[in-house]
Amino acid sequence: MSPNLFKHALVATLLSALGLPAVAQVAAPATGTNGYPATVKRPATDTYTGANGAQKVVEDYRWLETLDDPAVKDWVTLQNTATRRYLDALPARIAIRDELKQLIGSAPVTRSAFAFSGGKLFALKRQPPKNQPMLVMLDGPDALDTEKVVVDPNLRNDKGTTAIDWYVPSHDGRLVAVSLSDNGSEKGTLRIFETATGNELPDVVPRVQNPTGGGSVAWNADNSGVWFTRYPAPMERPAEDAGFYQQVYFHKLGTRSTLDTVSLGSELPRIAETALQASDDGRYVLASVRNGDGGEVGFWLLGPTGKWRQLAGFTDGYRSAVMGRDGRIYAIALKGSPRGRIVAMKLDAAGLAKAATIVPQSDVVIEDIRPTVTRLYVGVLVGGPSEIRVYTLAGKALPAPKVEPISTVQIGTRLDGDAILYADQSFVTPFAWYRLDPKRDGGEPVKTALSAPPEDLAMGDLTVTRVMAKSKDGTQVPVNLVMKKGVVLNGANPALLTAYGGYGQSQRPRYSRRVMFWLMHGGVFAMANIRGGGEFGEEWHLNGNLTKKQNVFDDFAASARMLIDQRYTNSKKLAIEGGSNGGLLMGAEIVQHPELYGAVVSHVGIYDMLRVELTPNGAFNVPEFGTVEDPAQFDALYAYSPLHHVVDGKTYPPLMMLTGINDGRVDPWQSLKMAARMQAANPDGRPVLLRVAGDAGHGQGMSLSSSIEQDADTFAFIFQSLGMSMQESATPPQPVTVPGLPQTK
């Protein structure tokens, strides 16, 4: 499995340093503004330089940034208590939780994140109600009877909070390198396991994975050692640089990690995010290095000489590269081709600059390339949905497999010869894994035993459509809609709208039992493909980042208005939800367009755009968001920064913010400060809730049980805010009386 460097894709389970339980229960809090826990104002003033000169900015809650301050710990505890008192009193919460436990906890076994090595197929297996996926090995995609567990993180921690970040098997399949982290921290330690026995070798390599720049590993030719990404050890750099200066080291099996040697380091930037890939024979290692999160990627190659050489720089316009099986490297080039073209170069060539184009740019976005012995499989995006295209290694188009309309196609792994595994899923059908082998089955795709069984959730027929919303500047924005057949467009349906809009990451159709729960209770589900993502190529991304970020918020507001104007719902029945960069989107929407929404749920969001770059992962975000050091970028950041545009006395919809205290991607204080500001400004009794999980981070690695509890809280909040009940035809719930907290109106 390729190590996970897609740091910002919206996770299905979006969401202990403070020593809190998952959601604390303590004595009744002291009350402050509107009955919330008292929050002291301690004004802090900064002066920035915009295009028109100096700009003073005052904020009241900077003291909440110091998470290890006992006063902040106490404040978080009181906020959690107030939130629990509100949520636990909601009449639908217990029924929602029980139904989600049944629906998600009894979901069928699924397998994903495949790798093929040494004639063995590896995968991460999710088996509810186990809290974490396990690493398994089997003889092939239809040999489930040979499956054996290699690493079960559920046995390493009785709370279910130890997770596999990523894994890479050795070339012969006898060993596997696994990064393991705890409590959603994504701070991984590398461990080595024998695949035949599951026994762990004594090798323990710390600091290989961090939420800032991810992590990766590649095996050498004889499987006696690994190249790996490494973050600074204590005393090597100042403590504030612990999540920066990722370098590539080599570890020889059977030796202490203190003897590991640096292999590639001084050439890499402070905000490097490195992915390593070895050739099939292990003689070459390709390092793909991202310069932060703005889309710039450089490439280095290690060959038999033992020296690295640079193939392309960060501004040369290549998105990704992969080793072929024919002595060539294949890459996606963006310069002059924002939707991508495929180039190829020999391993001994000077670099990618003179690589020949084999697949030119077309009307689709080239996203993923997998060369086999004689074929090139290409994953392409068509505005959100995706497909597979097939070519010879010379670029001649070949017949492609037919896929379900409005679906997501994912190339899983290369098998022997020209065979691959790929998956197809949609909003209404779960992942099905197919083998595509030109030498077998007549070259037609064959569904394998790895596929999830067909779902029967007593849903009846569902409809999936794509409609267009017209943004403020006239841009047409696709919105994917899922609902039961026969839903009457009377403007009274509850609807849930989500989007992301950042880092070139695309929102795709995916099957989710969480979404199915919403549909089962009469909801309309909508997902917008707004700018900032990569659905229509790099231009779509660049028109939603840096000084053009406001386009993202305009696209989303236009999608909401379309749902209202076309009578899918109305503003009092429209809930919105997003996480991470999508949490920033939620913050911007609630301050810019509060009249459009009946409820807002924001996971691990960014709300103070003026101070985000001062945090470890925030520095990685500068190429995407910009910096306050640039006057034009400061003006753009300040213009949409949610924290700085909350207005006292303004009417805002009900808001729930969720964060994890171990989040290393978006600092939890972002949510703390925004909650304090919104609670102080909230004028009319609509709730502003803050939920801080003590056993989670950004969402990755969250236990299944914690995820279900979080979803129960989320849906109970939405149901109450929109006037929904667990029965579609039942009388809407009455307002809840919870002493000391504002009530839903």
pLDDT per position as a tens digit, 629-641: 999 999 999 999 9
Residue span of the structural domain in which 507 resides: 33-103+461-722
Q: When comparing pLDDT for 745 and 590, which is higher?
A: 590
Q: Is the pLDDT of residue 104 over 90?
A: no
Q: Is residue 521 part of a domain?
A: yes
Give the per-residue pLDDT at 35: 67
- Which phi and psi angles does 448 have, rounded to 5°? -100, 170
The sign one gets for the Cα dihedral 190, 194, 197, 200 is negative
Q: Is residue 565 part of a domain?
A: yes
Give the per-residue pLDDT at 28: 33
Per-residue HEC secondary structure of 13-74 comes to CCCCCCCCCCCCCCCCCCECHHHCECCCCCCEEEEEEECCEEEEEEECCHHHHCCCCHHHHH
Q: What is the mean pLDDT of the chain?
A: 89
Q: Is residue 736 part of a domain?
A: no
Q: Is residue 51 part of a domain?
A: yes
How far apart (Å, rounded) are the C-alpha atoms in residues 331 and 352? 8
DSSP state of 559: H
Give the per-residue pLDDT at 160: 84
Give the per-residue pLDDT at 57: 97
Q: Is the pLDDT of residue 153 over 90?
A: yes
Highest mean pLDDT: which range of 79-83, 451-455, 469-473: 469-473
- Which phi and psi angles does 58 have, rounded to 5°? -115, 135
Show Cβ contacts of residue 485 under 8 Å, excluding neighbours closer than 6 positions. Answer: 460, 461, 462, 463
Q: Is residue 143 part of a domain?
A: no
Give the per-residue pLDDT at 106: 78
Give the per-residue pLDDT at 681: 92
Lowest-confidence range among 44-48, 224-228, 357-361, 405-409? Answer: 405-409
Confidence band for 4, pLDDT divided at 50, 70 and 90? very low
Give the per-residue pLDDT at 34: 56
How far apart (Å, rounded) are the C-alpha atoms in residues 164 and 153? 7
| pLDDT over 90 percentage in the chain | 76
Q: What average pLDDT does this structure show over 654-680?
A: 90
The tens digit of pLDDT for each residue in 24-42 reads: 332 233 444 456 888 999 9
- Which phi and psi angles does 258 have, rounded to 5°? -65, -15
In this structure, what CATH number is given to the domain that contains residue 557? 3.40.50.1820
Confidence band for 616, pLDDT divided at 50, 70 and 90? confident
Task: Output the CA–CA distances (angstroms, integers) from residue 657 to 14, 94, 203, in the order listed.
Answer: 12, 20, 41
Number of domains within the chain: 1
Q: What average pLDDT does this structure show over 375-396?
A: 95
Q: What average pLDDT does this structure show over 273-294?
A: 94
Nearest to 547 by CA among 471, 485, 483, 609: 609
Give the per-residue pLDDT at 334: 95
Q: Is the pLDDT of residue 496 over 70?
A: yes
Q: Is residue 667 part of a domain?
A: yes
Nearest to 498 by CA among 470, 473, 524, 522: 524
Strand 328-333 and strand 432-436: pairing? unpaired
Tokens 């975000």 locate to 621
**Residue 392, H or E segment:** strand 386-392
Q: What average pLDDT does this structure show over 562-569?
A: 98
The sign one gets for the Cα dihedral 379, 381, 387, 391 is negative
Give the per-residue pLDDT at 662: 74
Q: Is residue 434 part of a domain?
A: no
Q: Is residue 80 part of a domain?
A: yes
How far apart (Å, rounded) are the C-alpha atoms in residues 637 and 547? 8
Q: How far is CA 716 from the centre of its chain?
A: 24
User: In a 10 Å sphere around its CB, with 0-12 CB exposed, 13-18 middle and 19+ buried, how is residue 320 labelled?
Assistant: middle
